[in-house]
């Protein structure tokens, strides 16, 4: 089975966690354990978020020489290489030595007239309190918005239209390679008036880009891995309920937070509608359970309504020491 797994930002840097290489490495090890079990039996394509990392690089660049700071498309490419390197290395520590691994910098076309450029919504970088956020906004000219009980920078997040590296991704997958690509939603690009492709100042939503990739490469299953065990209705209330399986129509009758579960649900529903195949949303540690259809939330056209888990879904097992380094 061909599976595209989109890793949420929490897979590499948890909310409020220091943006250090050590923390990213530790979280990548956890992700690699879960991904390796899937890669042993299936064709695996991994995508990932980059919001914390790209925001941190922008902050560092602005502190050095504000007038010479690199644009977001270049910073996105840098994060793809950094994060892909960590995922690739740690997966290699859990898979048989002969398993081929590859990270591809992936350019994605967006529309220059996308309304997202006039209304930035994508959170990037570290979290701040209100006073610090106001100070940084005034100093750097950045836009800030509330993200839960904290504040973060927001940048434009246009919808992905086309993935340019589809052919090499397919070639690698067909040769048994675990491919890491479309990191951070891909490197945002658009054609200028002269017909030349160039980078644009934006960060593409990882979930929508991953769903587009999953459709274009013929994935049998699209998984959005996050820190939640499932999609919940009435989240954060005494009446919260974990959804076991739902149709796209039934899910879309409900609203979900735009900064967290909303894009995941919308992207998953889009994939299911356009392909007739299944999507899943759930915890990174439950990847094997989602592949088996027993964990997380499944979205499918085979049902007409919503079925709930009787109890919160249990966390599935992760790969154990017995397979480390292919032993």
Task: Return the active site residues.
Answer: 9-10, 122, 206, 264
| 230, 299 contact by CB (below 8 A) | no
Neighbouring residues of 312: CB distance < 8 A, sequence distance ≥ 6: 229, 230, 242
What is the distance between the alpha carbons of residues 31 and 244, in angstroms, rounded to a whole number?
23
Please state, in angstroms and rounded to a whole number, the distance separating the CA atoms of residues 210 and 231.
18
The answer for 185, left when phi > 0, alpha when psi is -120 to 50, beta otherwise, is left
* Tokens (6 digits) for 39: 């890669």
DSSP-assigned beta bridge partners for residue 188: 108
Q: How many residues does the chain have?
A: 327
**In whole angstroms, what separates CA 252 from the centre of its chain?**
20
Alpha helices in 186-315 (DSSP H): 206-216, 248-251, 261-275, 287-291
DSSP 245: E
Is residue 278 within 8 Å of 230, Cβ to Cβ?
no
Phi, psi torsion values for 25, nearest 5 degrees: -65, -45
Residues 6+ apart with CB under 8 A from 208: 159, 160, 185, 263, 266, 267, 270
CA atoms within 13 A on the CB side of 112: 10
What is the distance between the alpha carbons of residues 312 and 318, in angstroms, rounded to a whole number?
18
Q: CA of 51: how far to CAs of 108, 153, 170, 185, 225, in Å?
A: 16, 10, 26, 10, 15
């Amino acid at each position: 089975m061909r599976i595209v797994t989109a890793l949420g930002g929490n897979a590499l840097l948890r909310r409020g966690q220091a943006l250090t290489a050590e923390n990213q490495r530790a979280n990548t090890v956890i992700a690699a354990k879960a991904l390796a079990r899937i890669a042993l039996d299936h064709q695996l394509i991994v995508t990932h978020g980059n919001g914390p990392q790209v925001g941190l690089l922008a902050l560092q660049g602005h502190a050095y020489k504000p007038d010479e700071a690199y644009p977001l498309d270049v910073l996105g490419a840098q994060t793809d290489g950094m994060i892909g390197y960590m995922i690739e290395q740690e997966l290699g520590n859990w898979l048989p030595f002969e398993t081929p691994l590859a990270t591809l910098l992936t350019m994605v076309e967006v529309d220059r007239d996308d309304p997202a450029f006039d209304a930035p919504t994508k959170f990037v970088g570290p979290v701040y309190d209100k006073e610090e956020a106001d100070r940084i906004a005034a100093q750097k000219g950045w836009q800030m918005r509330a993200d839960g009980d904290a504040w973060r920078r927001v940048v434009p997040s246009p919808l992905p239209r086309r993935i340019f590296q589809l052919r090499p991704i397919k070639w690698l997958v067909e040769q048994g390679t675990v491919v890491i690509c479309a990191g951070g939603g891909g490197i945002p690009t658009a054609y200028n008036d002269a017909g030349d492709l160039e980078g644009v100042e934006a960060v593409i939503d990882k979930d929508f880009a991953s769903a587009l990739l999953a459709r274009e490469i013929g994935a049998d299953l699209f998984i959005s891995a996050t820190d939640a065990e499932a999609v919940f209705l009435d989240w954060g209330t005494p009446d919260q309920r974990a959804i076991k399986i739902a149709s796209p129509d039934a899910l879309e009758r409900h609203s979900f937070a735009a900064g967290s579960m909303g894009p995941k649900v919308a992207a998953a529903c889009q994939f299911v509608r356009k392909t007739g195949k299944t999507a899943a949303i759930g915890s990174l540690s439950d990847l094997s359970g989602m592949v088996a259809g027993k964990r997380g939330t499944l979205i499918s056209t085979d049902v007409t309504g919503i079925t709930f888990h009787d109890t919160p879904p249990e966390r599935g097992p992760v790969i154990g020491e017995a397979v480390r380094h292919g032993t």
